[in-house]
Structure 1
């Protein structure tokens, strides 16, 4: 049950946060939006360390619960750090950049809230056997599913054609996974 429910969240977190080798130093003569995209990649890289799904034994439900809570706390912390760093970066220097940035930040905030709600639900549940563990995970499942649909701020920002070009041109952002799916927020 845990793997099925949480795998979507973990994969989504990996896709939205995992970035290879971004750098904040723009190339001489680089367009401001390309430099901005490179800076965003740096934030994603710094906050995007991969979280591993914890190994759980449902025959040890209290231990399983602790591991699930620790995993979700780690994910929530990473999303919160990314949110803070992105706010420091500010809106991209393109036309309608503030609107794109606001939408991306709302999606990030919503995803964090969903994960926070799921971890609170699991943390507060009474777990003493497999049945109660599965019930706790099922109760938190909707938050997991909503957060699992979130593709990340880079994906949402790429929906703006000017920013898609900036991410594409930022040499150090080549490692950002790009989904073929239309960007979606955590609440959708």
Structure 2
């Protein structure tokens, strides 16, 4: 008798759960879900502090610039790993779109990393040498500043662009 009661309770619970799953809750389209995960990855970091220039010490100022570039590089590396971990977006041409996006991100990341290393190695002993060293890495700053990020590349696909507009995580 106890076995039969337990079986009936289990069967009733299973039936209730299956009926609850058929409610009015609408499931997101796969591309909307993917866009939401991508937005979650792309918005995880907070702004980096602007380097403080120390007029009394050009070496501290140089170190501040190197620290900024290293911080940007670390964030870009993390973004590369997490974004590639999502896999290709579930849209036509998604594999190619992700490859292009990752290529642009990797190229910009590489430029920033190279600039950081060059600045770290630069011999700086006065304001003028600091200005020259920072000027030589200006190209990296330029490329980084003009790079609009992976979302810009991903939005080139019309279906994925619409998905970014629908995903709740992208509206924040």
Q: Which bin holds the TM-score, normalised by the shorter protein?
A: 0.7 to 0.9
More helix by share: 2
Could you tell me how far apart the structure 2 residues matched to 1:146 and 1:44 are? 19
Q: Counterparts in 2 of 1:95-174, with a 5 A limit? A: 95-174=92-171
1:169 positional shift? 0.6
1:150 positional shift? 0.5
1:37 positional shift? 0.5
Counterpart residue number, 2:83: 86
**Structure 1: tracts of 5 or more residues without a match:** 1-26, 176-188
Could you tell me how far apart the structure 2 residues matched to 1:58 and 1:115 are? 25
Question: 8 Å contact 2:37–2:169 — kept in the other structure?
Answer: no
1:28 positional shift? 4.7
- 1:122–1:58 Cα change, 3 Å: farther
Moved over 4 A (4+): none
Could you tell me how far apart the structure 2 residues matched to 1:137 and 1:99 are? 36
Could you tell me how far apart the structure 2 residues matched to 1:141 and 1:120 are? 13
Q: Deviations over 1:19-70 (max 9, x none)?
A: xxxxxxxx85100000000101111122x22111112134421000011111
Q: How many residues were matched structurally?
A: 148
Question: 8 Å contact 1:59–1:129 — kept in the other structure?
Answer: no
Structure with greater contact order relative to length (CA < 8 Å, sep ≥ 6)? 1
Could you tell me how far apart the structure 2 residues matched to 1:99 and 1:28 are? 30
Q: Counterparts in 2 of 1:35-50, with a 5 A limit? A: 35-46=33-44, 48-50=45-47
Q: TM-score, normalised by structure 1?
A: 0.75
Q: For the pair shown, which has the larger CA radius of gyration, 1 or 2?
A: 2
- 1:79–1:41 Cα change, 3 Å: same
Counterpart residue number, 2:73: 76
**Structure 2: tracts of 5 or more residues without a match:** 1-24
Counterpart residue number, 1:16: none
Could you tell me how far apart the structure 2 residues matched to 1:28 and 1:54 are? 47
